Structure 1
């Protein structure tokens, strides 16, 4: 019986937290005290819509950096990290607190995440020098956490793909992979002679000794693509660390910036971006096309919501020309954990008609997408994505 009562009490407590601390919530028969009252105050400051009083919940955050910093500390005390990140995003969106993030005490109090990094990058032009190092520390923590999560699997997946893509069935004698050749022909073992008859030779093309593939990440840095820019910078650094890949990172809005020389440090890459502005995909692709030296061994990944501000038909002609030259072309409408983005469906359909996949991709799926592109096999497009079957061609 005591267990049932405890469960009932907990449900009433949760309902009271949902309803808030104002008098109208007293029907639960529960009072908010101690930690519960503090949690309600933190929620009310963000979602209550004004100063406390009858019929209103919470005290509001005001526009003071110290008070917001205290609130950020409170929510980290009372809520798990995933909830804290949601509340921070809501505070920035609902209460217009982005400008306060240029204050050092604010940055020291926040829970770093990808969305916060996007907000910080959009504020770099207004950020005072005294705050810049603190902001870099926040961005570096997020970048390092992402790299720990993604790097090992990305390298392992792509190394396997590169090995498979580089194998040839009629290699020169000095390019034969004898270990794989013997294993592939064990069925042809002749015990009376103590030898294996190699009916099928396995080896590597000459390109396998150095750079095997060129990878170009062409990333839209318009404001809606902030999370994708962060992930692309981290993946770019990971790919650039693989000697068998020649990796290039290009970001664009109406201008095009090649950040390949800064790929050693994703933080440098991110602070070199300028989130916001228009979009000229055709101009960005023209730059990428001009930098490709071996089209048959090149993979171009366009990361964009496809809201083209440039010349649409020229963009499509350029994509078709790159494909005709042998380039493997992939379009990611987003590279983030957020699911399906808003995107230009007309342009996505036009690309699909060219046989170019266009879909949203999570960071965890990206290594498999790249591996499939390198091996020139169908991409692992999420089945729930509209047009997945057509785009998988």
Structure 2
């Protein structure tokens, strides 16, 4: 088998995942399809795209998969995973992988990674409204999350935190983090779906966010 054929099989192995390895070996690829660098790249991709890994932000568990640690928000593997994908892929690909990790694995803290913050919707800070929907119970680096929000706010982005609501419509959130953000001028409040368009309209018109938030809290019109 030529070197080109070996390289093609290695790429197909990375694209198709571990489940394809036995089949690809039947084409004569041999046991060592991936070198050390490719193996690390494969692990980084499998953490997000291998549905059998059972990795989620809820528990960081490893139910039903061969990997030994998850990418839960408090897992030390998360920092290594971020380092790996930044090593192996260009920034635009890294941002796609991070977006997929948010959607597929619930890793919301990746919203504050520089690749996502530097996408097109942040290129004009003074024209940008950034709404974080969260209960603020982040298991990752809380200090870093706060700093990223503060950086956006100070850069001119209209930054607010829309707190998660319970089934009874009562905000449920980390009060300490909410107060810390409020100290920096970032309003944190709960808002029912019917009030949200009104709030966004006021924010886009340049009204003071803190004043708008207080009106929402007290059920007053804009």
TM-score, L = length of structure 2: 0.50
Report which of the two structures shows the higher radius of gyration computed on alpha carbons.
Answer: 1
TM-score, L = length of structure 1: 0.31
